[in-house]
Chain A
Amino acid sequence: MKVLVAVKRVIDYNVKIRVKPDNSDVDLTNVKMAMNPFCEIAVEEAVRLKERGVATEVVAVTVGPKAAQEQLRTALALGADRAIHIQTDERVESLGAAKALARVVEEEQPGLTILGKQAIDSDNNQTGQMLAALTGRPQGTFASEVVIENDKARVTREIDGGLQTVELALPAIVTTDLRLNEPRYAKLPDIMKAKKKPLSVKTPEELGVEVASRLTLVKVEPPAERQGGVKVGSVDELVDKLKNEAKVIS
Chain B
Amino acid sequence: MSILVLAEHHDGQLAGATAHVVAAARAIQQDSGGDIDVLVAGENVGAIADAAARLDGVSRVRVADAAVYAHQLAEPLGELLVALADDYGHVLAAATTTGKNVMPRLAALKDVAQLSEIIAVESADTFQRPIYAGNAIATVQSDDALKVITVRATAFDAVAETGSASVEAVDTVVDNALSSFVGEELAASDRPELGAAKVVISGGRGMGSGDNFKLLDGIADKLGAAIGASRAAVDAGFVPNDMQVGQTGKIVAPELYIAVGISGAIQHLAGMKDSKVIVAINKDEEAPIFQVADYGLVADLFEALPELESKL
> Which A residues form the contact surface with B (CB < 8 A)?
11, 13-17, 19, 26, 37-38, 93-95, 98, 120-134, 136-139, 141-142, 144, 154, 157-169, 178-179, 182, 213-223, 226-232, 234-236, 238-239, 241-242, 246, 248-249
Q: Which residues of B contact A127 (CB under 8 A)?
A: 104
* CB contact between A141 and one of B74, B247, B291 (< 8 Å): that residue: B74
Q: Do A220 and B131 touch across chains, with their CB atoms under 8 A apart?
A: yes
Given the complex of chains A and B, what is the CA–CA distance between A98 and B119 in angstroms? 25
> Which B residues form the contact surface with A (CB < 8 A)?
10, 71, 73-75, 78, 96-98, 100-109, 111-117, 126, 129-144, 177-187, 193, 195-196, 199, 223, 240-242, 244, 247-249, 255-256, 265-267, 273-274, 276-279, 285, 290-299, 304, 307-308, 311-312
29 inter-chain pairs at a CB distance below 8 angstroms, sorted by A residue, are A14-B266, A16-B266, A19-B136, A121-B131, A123-B132, A124-B114, A129-B74, A130-B104, A133-B106, A139-B75, A141-B101, A158-B97, A160-B96, A160-B193, A160-B196, A166-B182, A169-B179, A214-B112, A216-B142, A217-B140, A218-B139, A220-B138, A221-B137, A222-B136, A223-B130, A229-B293, A238-B279, A238-B295, A249-B256
CB distance from B283 to the nearest CB of A (A): 13
* CB contact between A220 and one of B102, B137, B143 (< 8 Å): that residue: B137
Given the complex of chains A and B, what is the CA–CA distance between A220 and B134 in angstroms? 11
Q: Which residues of A contact B103 (CB under 8 A)?
A: 129
CB distance from A32 to the nearest CB of B (A): 12
Leading 4 A-B pairs by shortest Cβ distance: A162-B186, A129-B104, A138-B178, A130-B108
Taking A166-B73, A179-B240 as contacts, is the C-beta distance between A223 and B136 under 8 angstroms? Answer: yes
Q: Do B97 and A218 touch across chains, with their CB atoms under 8 A apart?
A: no
Given the complex of chains A and B, what is the CA–CA distance between A131 and B78 in angstroms? 13
CB distance from A205 to the nearest CB of B (A): 19
Q: Which residues of B contact A179 (CB under 8 A)?
A: 240-242
Given the complex of chains A and B, what is the CA–CA distance between A98 and B74 in angstroms? 17
Q: CB-nearest residue of chain B relative to A222?
A: B136
Taking A95-B113, A129-B105 as contacts, is the C-beta distance between A137 and B178 under 8 angstroms? Answer: yes
Given the complex of chains A and B, what is the CA–CA distance between A62 and B144 in angstroms? 26
* CB contact between B182 and one of A122, A167, A229 (< 8 Å): that residue: A167
> From DSSP, what is the main secondary structure of chain B's interface residues?
mixed
Given the complex of chains A and B, what is the CA–CA distance between A121 and B138 in angstroms? 11
Q: Which residues of B contact A130 (CB under 8 A)?
A: 104-105, 107-108, 114
Q: Which residues of A contact B311 (CB under 8 A)?
A: 235-236, 239
Q: Which residues of A contact B100 (CB under 8 A)?
A: 125, 129, 141-142
* CB contact between B98 and one of A95, A98, A159, A232 (< 8 Å): that residue: A159
Q: Do B308 and A239 touch across chains, with their CB atoms under 8 A apart?
A: yes
Given the complex of chains A and B, what is the CA–CA distance between A219 and B139 in angstroms? 5
Given the complex of chains A and B, what is the CA–CA distance between A182 and B242 in angstroms? 12
Taking A215-B115, A241-B295 as contacts, is the C-beta distance between A126 and B180 under 8 angstroms? Answer: no
Given the complex of chains A and B, what is the CA–CA distance between A178 and B240 in angstroms? 10
> From DSSP, what is the main secondary structure of chain A's interface residues?
mixed
- 17 new A-B contacts, CB < 8 A, other than A215-B113, A223-B137, are A95-B111, A120-B132, A123-B133, A128-B104, A133-B104, A142-B100, A157-B97, A159-B97, A160-B98, A165-B184, A218-B140, A223-B273, A223-B274, A229-B290, A229-B295, A231-B290, A232-B296
Q: Do A166 and B181 touch across chains, with their CB atoms under 8 A apart?
A: yes
Given the complex of chains A and B, what is the CA–CA distance between A33 and B272 in angstroms? 23
Given the complex of chains A and B, what is the CA–CA distance between A222 and B136 in angstroms? 5
Q: CB-nearest residue of chain B relative to A40?
A: B248
Taking A139-B75, A154-B182 as contacts, is the C-beta distance between A37 and B141 under 8 angstroms? Answer: no
Q: Do B126 and A218 touch across chains, with their CB atoms under 8 A apart?
A: yes
* CB contact between A242 and one of B130, B134, B277 (< 8 Å): that residue: B277
Q: Which residues of A contact B181 (CB under 8 A)?
A: 164-166
